[in-house]
Amino acid sequence: MAHGSSTEETGRDGLVRILGLPAMVANAVNVIVASGIFVLPAAVAAIVGRSWLVAYLICSAITALVLLSLAEAGSRVSETGGTYRYVQVAFGPFAGALLGVVLLFSSVASNAAVAVVFAETVGEAAPALSGGLARAVVLGVMFVALAAINVRGVRVGARFVEVVTAAKLAPLLLLIVAGVVAMHSAGSVAGGPGAGAALPAAVSASDIGRAALVLFFAFTGIEVALTPSGEFANPARTVPRAVLIALVIVTVVYIGVHLVAQDILGADLARDQTAPLAATAGRLFGPRGRALMLAAAALSTFSYVGGDILASPRMLFAFARDEYLPAPMGAVHGRYRTPHLAIIIYTALAAVLALSGTFRVLAALAAIAALLIYLACCLAVIQLRRRRVGSAGDPFLVPAGPVVPVLACLIMLWLLSHASRGEWATIGVVLAIGVGLYLARAGRMRRRAGRAVELEAAAEEPSRNPAPLL
């Protein structure tokens, strides 16, 4: 369908509502299933051993509470900005400004951290590309290519994400199918040779909690996929359906991958914290299988960065439209109808952070920021429902009234209690930037209103003091 077709709906912000259910599901799965799945089974096995399934099911239930709340908020507020808009509509511009800055920080930090993983994976596969300058070139080529794809149109970017998401899931699904066949032939179920050795048979509730905490971070990312809300077709139906379908797909893939890895590697799963799935594929298919899984890891991180650049620059766009940032960032490309300057600036920020190479710091801070975002959005759902907000038709309603978002809020607070003082200090700086942007905007608005009053008074002055007749 060419741009400008009469069947395309254009929103109030000038963006085209063209993203349907397949694009939304693909982007949601893509941003959730990033690099974590390729090391996740080893991390969980090291904590809870053979009790891994309990942690997965608990984490899935926790994630469902959050995603259901986000689904209702997304069906009620359909303007571009995603979670930023939800909080802004529910609690006003000040809360929206704070949430928006936290969301932007989380997105850029996550993008940069995953980009670093991509560069390191490429360097492991091709040692000649692991040096400082070569690594910078790899990152630069990737960011420039992905920015160009997304500037050319949301349809192009969405199709790219759909293709790479399918390509990323294909080797994982192949691993699951081949592993299940091997397990059936050997008559084993998550037991593999030596599976019981070095794995605790009984674990405590705190161990399960720690494992669920690790898994929860692996399920984050849906807020990024919700950001281009102004480009969703029929958001009241698309958002909740896409979120729930994505959760089911991700849960099945995660459990299937761990089941196979546990059975094939046994106790070795907990020991291989670098590339457990590559080791699993190596035992199933030989060296070619290991190489395939390394390629899948590179593709996974690459597609995450691409999906994030499809969605997150809309945060800068929304901020500029709301006058928190310079107006040019809110420009829409005359031909491609995309926020091209926001995409370029966002990509440049992520590239700078990625080149710094501080993966662990960026990943930890991004996770804490994501928890704050979820907490604010779950509170927003309660407020949006109380005010009966529904800008795009009949909204999706979370069952059991406020029970789901309230439970989600309690869980978020529990998880946030594990953050360190240093991490909270950094988040405090981010929030201070949000306060500064809000106060600067408020000052501009007051000055603008004052000038308008002065102009109006000047215009009325001649009528109050008519010139004397000669």
**Nearest Cα to Cα of residue 87 among 433, 384, 438:** 384
Structure tokens at 221: 């990312």
Structure tokens at 124: 């492991």
Backbone angles phi, psi at 157, to 5 degrees: -65, -40
**Nearest Cα to Cα of residue 390 among 227, 237, 226:** 237
* Residues 470, 454: Cα–Cα separation, whole Å: 30
Distances (CA, A) of 14 to 153, 215, 323: 13, 38, 16
* Residues 90, 379: Cα–Cα separation, whole Å: 9
Residue 426 CB coordination number (10 Å): 18
| C-beta of residue 325 within 8 angstroms of C-beta of residue 316 | yes
Say which DSSP state 19 is in.
B
What 3-state class would DSSP assign to 17? strand
* Residues 441, 444: Cα–Cα separation, whole Å: 5
What per-residue string of b and e applies to 405-419 under the rule 16 or more CB within 10 Å gives b?
bbbbbebbeebbeeb
* Residues 362, 466: Cα–Cα separation, whole Å: 67
Question: What domains are defined for the chain?
Answer: 22-460 (1.20.1740.10)
**Nearest Cα to Cα of residue 74 among 137, 133, 28, 39:** 28
What pLDDT does 52 receive? 85
What residues contact residue 313 under an 8 Å CB cut-off, 6+ apart? Answer: 150, 339, 342, 343, 345, 346, 347
- Alpha-carbon dihedral of residues 185, 186, 190, 194, nearest 10 degrees? -160
* Tens digit of pLDDT at every position of the chain (470 positions): 334 444 455 555 555 555 667 777 777 777 777 666 777 788 888 888 878 888 888 878 888 888 788 878 877 886 666 777 889 889 998 998 898 899 889 889 888 888 888 887 788 778 888 777 898 999 999 999 999 988 886 666 566 666 766 777 788 888 999 888 888 776 554 444 444 434 445 677 777 777 777 777 677 776 655 555 555 566 666 767 777 788 888 888 889 999 999 888 887 888 776 678 888 888 888 888 888 888 888 887 887 788 788 778 887 888 888 888 888 888 888 887 888 999 999 999 999 988 886 666 777 788 788 889 889 989 999 999 888 887 556 777 887 878 999 998 998 888 788 778 888 998 999 999 999 999 999 988 888 888 877 787 777 766 555 655 54
Backbone angles phi, psi at 16, to 5 degrees: -90, 130
Instruction: Give ∠ CA 250-315-249 in degrees, rounded to 5.
Output: 10
* Residues 434, 440: Cα–Cα separation, whole Å: 10
